[in-house]
Structure 1
Amino acid sequence: MDNDLHYRFIKPEKPLSEFVDSFWCLHNQSDSGKETIGLPDGRIDLFLFKSSEEPFRIVLIGLGTLPHEQAIIPSNSLMFSISFKLPAVEYVFGNTISDIINSGRLLPEHFWGFAEDDLQDFDLFVQKATLKIQSLLPNEIDERKRKLFELIYATKGAITVKELSEKVFWTSRQINRYFNQQFGISLKAYCTVLRFRASLEHIAQGKLFPEENFSDQNHFIKEIKKFSGVAPKELFKNKNDRFILLSSLIKK
């Protein structure tokens, strides 16, 4: 990654890992803005942000289904984020995110007790966020939903709605109603996003042919273009590290 951009992430342990994908921070240490394009990754992000040009804020970002328009990471900016898995929407936030597909929601400044001072130390932020999320976790969740999400994430989206329905004993119609009401997206569409995200792991290694469940090379290229706006070859080149998610995978 660009030497001026510092990226770090931490994976949680169980039981938090059922609801949280990762904690991460991004710091633009330079005096100039950095171009970036966000990619859909199947996660919901809560982030704390400040820069030399913009005030502190807390934002919740919903699911993405399209490449974000080119944006600028401001100079001397710092972002701490929690990337959530879908079960967190119902069982941690207790709310729907169906209204913020490809967009976000500004949260109150002291949401979950967070404040600008929490951006001073990433490790302390992770500790504080972990304790807060643990305090919100329910004693139990619907076993059909637990099994459903286990299968979705274990297969990285390479599973049909029919298979999922049969394995969790929940009708396809009911599952899709749940997905659309809670997340603003169908189960099939979400699985397609996860499959794209899994493909990024291979593209980061220079594997520009389908490794996941794509019917052929043309289908693979079409899906990559749909979610990134460019062909796999162009995505791998990642000029100026503008695809931050891909840069982090290459670094990893």
Structure 2
Amino acid sequence: MELNPKTYEPNIELTEFVIRYWTLDGEKENIPLKNTIVPDGTMKLIFHYGDTYKYHSQNGEITILPKCFLIGQLTKPYVIEPVGVTGSFVVQFKPNGFLPFTSIPMKEMENKAVPLDILFGEEGRKIGNQILNANSTSERIQIIETFLLKKLADKKTIDNIVKSTVETIFNTNGQFSVNVFSKNNNINRRQLARKFSSAIGLSPKQLAKTIRIQKTLKVLLNEEINSLTDLAYENDYFDQAHFIKEFKEFTGLTPKEFFGDSLKMSLIFDKK
């Protein structure tokens, strides 16, 4: 896939919330017919300064995505298709990083593309137009950072227990026990789940499953694998059947289909 991705670091004042910015550029003929965005536990603001994309729902419906929108937390594969030339600027937030910037409950944005005017009203429309009409990536970064820093003036505080849980899930590559963490940190697991749902839009278990599949995908793409069974056990799946079930839940493919036909469908996921 010849998409020429480039990544950029955020302003130090935003590193608690934003992982990075990235751009994708490419001609339609160089991009696979369909792309599957694999859940990665993050939310993203997306600005298509090129042509937009179609979204293929699991029930077969096709809709045209907005030029500027937030993609909420994904719990299933999100299949898109380019309409023409790709030119995209993306703001990737940490799992709990978008909370200070929205008044819409996280759960209401799950698996949805939310237009900027719904998120931020007239201000969202203006920012979208400014970024689409900017002449460079550095100009787009300056515009979005000015906007986000202004929003942080009255930010909601990030709950420390949520922040600690997210860090633990990432540090263990998703091999995480809610019961053990709750006991060690003296917090009721239901209380933790409520805090998580409010701040992130996922439960701790859902985020752990997401991070684990991301780790597994990276291994599959970058290392020579002799046995899927060994890979399943190494990544804390009960058995190969459990691994295959979760793999399909997040990618829409079985591991066998994933490797078939020279990866006919491109998988887009968190590459860090």
Q: CA deviation at 1:18?
A: 2.8
Contact 1:96 1:183 in 2 (8 A): no
Q: 2:221 aligns with which of 204, 208, 211?
A: 204
State whether structure 2 residue 90 is matched by structure 1 residue 81.
Answer: yes
Between stretches 141-150 and 185-194, larger displacement belongs to 141-150
State which of 98, 105, 117 in structure 1 corresponds to 2:133.
117
Q: How many residues align?
A: 244
Report the equivalent of 1:216: 239
Match of 2:68 in 1: 58
C-alpha displacement at 1:100, in angstroms?
1.9
Name the CA shift for 1:51/1:153 in 2 (closer, same or farther; >3 Å): same
Q: 1:183 to 1:222 in 2, by over 3 A?
A: same
Q: Which residue of 1 aligns with 2:78?
A: 68
> What is the CA deviation profile of residues 209-252 of structure 1, one whole-angstrom value per residue up to 9, with x for unaligned ones?
2342222333222211221121224324552452233xx84xx8
Query: Which of 82, 99, 103 is the equivalent residue of 1:90?
Result: 99
Q: Secondary structure of the residue that 2:97 maps to in structure 1?
A: helix
Instruction: Quote the Cα distance in structure 2 between the aligned partners of 1:13 and 1:196.
Output: 29
| TM-score of the two chains, using structure 2 as the length reference | 0.76
Q: Distance in 2 between matches of 1:93 and 1:177?
A: 18
Q: Does 1:239 align with 2:263?
A: yes
Note if contact 2:5-2:25 (Cα within 8 Å) is conserved in structure 1.
yes
Gaps of 5+ in 1: none
How has the CA–CA distance of structure 1 residues 107 and 124 changed in structure 2, closer, same or farther, with 3 Å as cutoff? same
Classify 1:48/1:175 alpha carbon distance in 2 versus 1 (closer, same or farther; 3 Å): same
Q: Match of 2:47?
A: 48
Percent sequence identity over matched residues?
Answer: 25
The answer on whether the counterparts of 2:47 and 2:89 sit within 8 Å (CA) in structure 1 is yes
The AA in structure 1 aligned to 2:4 is H
CA RMSD of aligned residues (A): 3.0
Deviation at 1:85, TM superposition (A): 1.5
Distance 2:19 2:48 in 1: 19
Structure 1 residues 94, 146: CA separation in 2 closer, same or farther (over 3 Å shift)?
farther
Paired position in structure 1 for 2:4: 6
- TM-score normalized with structure 1 length: 0.81
Distance (whole Å) between structure 2 residues aligned to residue 235 and residue 55 of structure 1: 26
| C-alpha contact (below 8 Å) 1:98/1:180 kept by paired residues | yes
Aligned to 2:61: none
One-letter amino acid of the counterpart of residue 113, structure 1: I
Distance in structure 1 (CA, Å) of the matches to 2:157 and 2:112: 30
Q: Are the equivalent residues in 1 in contact too, given 2:162–2:192 (CA < 8 A)? A: no
Q: What's the CA shift string for 1:8-46, capped at 9, x where partnerless?
A: 223447553332222111223236873212211111011
Q: 1:63 to 1:217 in 2, by over 3 A?
A: same
> How far does residue 195 in structure 1 lie from its aligned partner after superposition?
1.1
Instruction: Give the whole-Å Cα distance in 2 for the aligned partners of 1:190 and 1:20.
Output: 17
Q: Describe the shift of the 1:217–1:56 C-alpha distance in structure 2 as closer, same or farther (beyond 3 A).
A: closer
Which residue, 201, 204, 209 being the options, matches 1:187?
204
On the 8 A contact 1:89/1:95 being kept in 2, the answer is no
Deviation at 1:78, TM superposition (A): 1.3
Change (3 A) 1:52 1:91: closer
Q: Supply the distance in 2 between the matched residues of 1:37 and 1:140 (Cα, whole angstroms).
A: 33
Structure 2 unaligned segments of length 5 or more: list them: 53-63
Letter in 2 for 1:23: Y
